[in-house]
């Protein structure tokens, strides 16, 4: 691969002039070689610029992950081009690493298989775990870089002598939920320069430098699901989709759903309940029987969550925590028992099996696990 080389000295000087007014500094110690994961968005663009401002040797890399049709999400052809041109503006080298085969194996195939078994997967967490902070981080180490840098809205806390993942300063953009799997060893080789900035500050800094991504809209969609075809067609091409009957708590048939594999616990839309006036939700999904049990909001509540595949920031935690069950949902008080199972202080909406549950103390991540059902 041949990097882009475009006047590093001139553009590096331009960044120092444009960003010098900001009082925030996030150096990774002495002058370092850093590899910046460039998604083509404003966050990673400014992350690279902040590394330059700190005087580090910076190289940008964009990941080629999905080889199929794509019209939304990250890592599209236009995103690769945006990342390349931002690197040109900053005067740093830019590479593209092809992890398409690994992405198919570790993200897409598990996503499809999860739906086959009635689970609700989070492909972005799988991508972070297996690709960005496993393969890419390992490659950065092997290539001799001191840090892998990303544009995630998180921080690293070093209070108490260890390293822990901490929420980003912009609570509306915090991404700690999708990075809960990062270990202390991982955090030693990572740097998140944008974590102490609000989104509007990042756009302002990008605009001052004239970066092409300064006003680029965000995309939070699954990159391998096209808007035109949607999730249903994507899965229908890979697994059989089967209609489901909807039943109430007494087992009485009350309606139908077009595909049991597409129903998730907590879902309300897309369920044909024959015009029932009251709101009803999917409270249980039985793939084998092709049956979905529906009920009201009170029937959707559960006292706790059964958990598997725990990942801890340090030693396993037992006791009172705050638990978050979606990327931007609230963290609610709960208790972890000695087996790592979670009970809410007050009953909460059921968590779909396959989703992540992340544990916090204040803004610090203690760890997380995968929901496998609800406790009674």
Question: Which residues have CB under 8 Å from 133's CB, separation 6+?
Answer: 148, 179, 181, 182, 186, 190
Catalytic residues: 127, 223
Q: In angstroms, rounded to a whole number, what is the distance separating the alpha carbons of residues 73 and 223?
A: 4
The residue to which tokens 């990942």 are assigned: 311
Q: In angstroms, rounded to a whole number, what is the distance separating the alpha carbons of residues 313 and 145?
A: 24
Cβ atoms within 10 Å, residue 171? 11
- The pairing of strands 364-375 and 190-191 is unpaired
Task: Print burial letters for 112-151: b (CB count within 10 Å at least 16), e (below 16).
Answer: bebbeebbbbbbbbbbbbbbbbbbbbeebeeeebbbbbbb
DSSP 264-288: -TT--TT-B-TT-SS--EEEEEETT
Judge whether 261 and 119 are in contact, CB under 8 Å. Answer: no
Q: What angle do CA 166, 168, 174 make, to 5 degrees?
A: 105
Q: In angstroms, rounded to a whole number, what is the distance separating the alpha carbons of residues 83 and 284?
A: 43
């Amino acid at each position: 691969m041949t990097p882009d080389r475009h006047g590093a000295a001139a553009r590096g000087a331009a960044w120092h002039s444009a960003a010098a007014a900001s009082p925030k500094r996030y150096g990774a110690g002495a002058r370092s070689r850093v590899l910046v994961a460039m998604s083509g968005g404003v966050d990673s663009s400014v992350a690279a610029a902040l590394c330059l401002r700190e005087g580090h040797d910076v190289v940008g890399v964009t990941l080629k992950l999905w080889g199929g049709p794509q019209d939304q999400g990250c890592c599209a052809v236009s995103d690769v081009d945006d990342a390349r041109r931002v690197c040109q503006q900053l005067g740093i080298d830019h590479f593209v690493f092809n992890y398409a085969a690994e992405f198919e194996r570790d993200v897409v195939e598990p996503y499809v298989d999860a739906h086959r078994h009635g689970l609700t997967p989070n492909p972005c967490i799988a991508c972070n775990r297996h690709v960005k902070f496993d393969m890419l981080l390992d490659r950065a180490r092997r290539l001799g870089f001191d840090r892998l840098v990303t544009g995630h809205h998180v921080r690293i806390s070093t209070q108490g002598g260890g390293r822990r993942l901490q929420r980003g300063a912009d609570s509306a953009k915090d991404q700690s939920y999708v990075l809960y799997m990062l270990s202390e060893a991982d955090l030693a080789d990572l740097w998140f320069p944008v974590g102490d900035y609000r989104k509007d500050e990042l756009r302002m800094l990008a605009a001052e430098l004239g970066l092409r991504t300064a006003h680029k809209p965000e995309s939070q969609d699954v990159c391998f699901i096209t808007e035109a075809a949607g999730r249903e067609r994507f899965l229908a091409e890979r697994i059989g989709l089967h209609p489901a009957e909807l039943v109430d708590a007494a087992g009485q048939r009350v309606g139908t759903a077009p595909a049991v594999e597409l129903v998730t616990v907590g879902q309300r839309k897309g369920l044909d309940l024959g015009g029932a006036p009251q709101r009803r939700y999917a409270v249980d999904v039985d793939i084998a029987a092709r049956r979905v049990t529906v009920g009201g909001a009170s029937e959707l509540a559960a006292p706790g969550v059964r958990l598997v595949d725990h990942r801890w920031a340090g030693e396993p935690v037992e006791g009172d925590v705050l638990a978050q069950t979606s990327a931007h949902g609230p963290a609610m008080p709960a208790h972890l028992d000695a087996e790592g199972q979670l009970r809410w202080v007050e009953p909460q909406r059921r968590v779909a099996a396959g989703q992540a549950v992340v544990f916090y103390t204040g803004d610090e991540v203690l760890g997380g696990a995968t929901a496998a059902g609800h406790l009674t």
